């Protein structure tokens, strides 16, 4: 394992510099303001805060789903404001994996096909290779026997794990999750959490997860608290040395 000092010095995967996002409505709504943060490799970051504080909004900005009104978001060292929408889509496709509160799987496709979607959009592998890889990811999340099922034939926990599998499809370094366990019961929620944990510890991924649960946040490595669109706390909950 890398020494703490070395880990901190590693180049950030995602960096927000003085980011604010204001919705241009009749009465302008500020979603987040003056955000400065850096997400480094192999971090497991919790974003917490009261409902409506801007957690999701921040995650969308970090994931290039939304653009800041002012400030800059850099992903994988690249500036993202001046590039085209297609290029941002490309970064999302290869570099970022998303998991939402609701599984957001395409209902007409099987679990396997859903996991294959991002691979097919990228188009690097042959159909057979994509299939094999999708099955492998599903198996690693304990879903081997569900690969051929459609979302409506699975439980909520299984669906959410398929969503995680889909996020991993193109092997992105970063996974962004918005309340991935928010709609799950305790058991499924534990399962999904364990998977995210393993992604960080065993596969060297970086995970940023929004959560309501202080208990879950405490079991991650770093906690960023948002109140009223501002970062009010940013702390290591588990010192890197103990990992």
Partner 1 sequence: MSLVLDIAFTHVRARARQTLVAIFGVATGVGFSIMMAALMQGSQVDFINKLVDAMPHIAISDERPAPPVQPAERAYDAAAIHGLTPETRRLGIKNPLATMAALETWVPGEIGPGVITRAIIRYAGRDVSVTVNGIDPMREPKISTLATKMRQGSLVSLYRATNAIILGSRLATKIGARIGSTISLTTTTGGQMTAEVVGISHIGVRTADETTAYTLIKTAQILQAQTGIINEIRIRLDDPMIAKDVADRIVRETNYQAVAWMEAQEELLSAFQVRNIIMTTVVGAILLVASFGTYNIISTITHEKARDIAIMKSLGFREVTVRRIFVVEALTIGLVGSVFGCVLGYALCLFLGSFEFEFSAFTDMTRIPLLYSVNHYLIATGVALLSSGIAGYFPARKAARVHPVEIIRGAA
Ligand X SMILES: Nc1ncnc2c1ncn2[C@@H]1O[C@H](COP(=O)(O)OP(=O)(O)OP(=O)(O)O)[C@@H](O)[C@H]1O
Binding site for partner 1 (CB under 8 A): 56, 60, 63, 65-66, 85-86, 89-94, 96, 98, 100-102, 104-109, 113, 117-118, 120-122, 127, 166, 178-179
Binding segment for ligand X (CB under 6 A), chosen from 9-17, 46-54, 115-123, 155-163, is 46-54
Sole residue written with tokens 């997400």 = 39
Q: Does 211 bind ligand X (CB under 6 A)?
A: no
Indicate the pairing of strand 206-210 with strand 70-75. Answer: unpaired
- Count of residues making up the chain: 243
Q: Does 184 bind ligand X (CB under 6 A)?
A: no
Nearer to Mg ion, 135 or 178 (CB): 178
Nearer to ligand X, 62 or 200 (CB): 62
One residue of 1, 5, 28, 51 binding ligand X per CB under 6 A = 51
Closest CA to 226 of 5, 36, 65: 36
Neighbouring residues of 37: CB distance < 8 A, sequence distance ≥ 6 = 15, 16, 224, 231, 234
Name the 3-class secondary structure at 66. coil
In the complex, the smallest distance separating the C-beta of residue 103 from ligand X, rounded to whole angstroms, is 16
One residue of 31, 46, 231, 240 binding ligand X per CB under 6 A = 31
Compute, in degrees rounded to 10, the torsion defined by CA atoms 226, 232, 234, 235.
Answer: -110
Helices then strands, counting H and E runs in the chain, come out as: 8, 10
Q: Does 142 bind ligand X (CB under 6 A)?
A: no
Q: Does 56 bind Mg ion (CB under 5 A)?
A: yes
Name the 3-class secondary structure at 45. strand
Nearer to partner 1, 135 or 178 (CB): 178
Structure tokens at 20: 């604010």
CA distance 72 to 56: 17
Nearer to partner 1, 66 or 135 (CB): 66
Per-residue buried b or exposed e for 185-208, using 16+ beta carbons within 10 Å of the residue's own CB: eeebbebbbebbeebbeeeebbbb
Binding segment for ligand X (CB under 6 A), chosen from 48-56, 76-84, 138-146, 151-159, is 48-56
One residue of 54, 71, 97, 180 binding ligand X per CB under 6 A = 54
Q: Does 211 bind Mg ion (CB under 5 A)?
A: no
Helix (H) or strand (E) holding 83: none
Indicate the pairing of strand 174-178 with strand 96-99. Answer: parallel
Q: Does 53 bind ligand X (CB under 6 A)?
A: yes
Nearer to ligand X, 49 or 157 (CB): 49
CA distance 21 to 118: 28
Binding segment for Mg ion (CB under 5 A), chosen from 48-56, 125-133, 137-145, 190-198, is 48-56
Task: List residues binding Mg ion (CB under 5 A).
Answer: 56
Task: List residues binding ligand X (CB under 6 A).
Answer: 23, 25, 29, 31, 49, 51-57
């Amino acid at each position: 394992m890398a020494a703490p000092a070395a880990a901190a010095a590693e180049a950030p995967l995602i960096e927000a510099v003085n980011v604010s996002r204001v919705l241009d409505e009749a009465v302008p709504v500020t979603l987040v303001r003056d955000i400065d943060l850096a997400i480094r490799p192999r971090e497991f970051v919790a974003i917490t805060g009261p409902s409506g504080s801007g957690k999701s909004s921040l995650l969308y900005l970090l994931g290039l789903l939304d653009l800041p009104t002012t400030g800059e978001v850099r992903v994988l060292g690249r500036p993202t404001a001046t590039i085209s929408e297609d290029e941002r889509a490309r970064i999302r496709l290869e570099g970022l994996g998303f998991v939402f509160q609701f599984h957001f799987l395409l209902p007409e496709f099987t679990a396997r096909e859903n996991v294959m979607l991002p691979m097919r959009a990228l188009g690097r592998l042959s159909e057979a290779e994509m299939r094999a890889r999708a099955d492998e990811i599903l198996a690693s999340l304990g879903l081997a026997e569900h690969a051929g099922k459609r979302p409506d034939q699975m439980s909520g926990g299984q669906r959410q794990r398929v969503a995680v599998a889909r996020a991993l499809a193109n092997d992105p370094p970063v996974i962004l999750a918005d309340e991935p366990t928010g709609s799950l019961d305790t058991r499924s929620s534990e399962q999904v959490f364990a998977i995210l944990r393993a992604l960080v510890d065993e596969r060297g991924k970086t995970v940023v997860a929004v959560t309501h649960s202080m208990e879950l946040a405490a079991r991650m490595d770093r906690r960023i608290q948002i109140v009223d669109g501002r970062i009010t706390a940013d702390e290591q909950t588990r010192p890197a040395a103990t990992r």
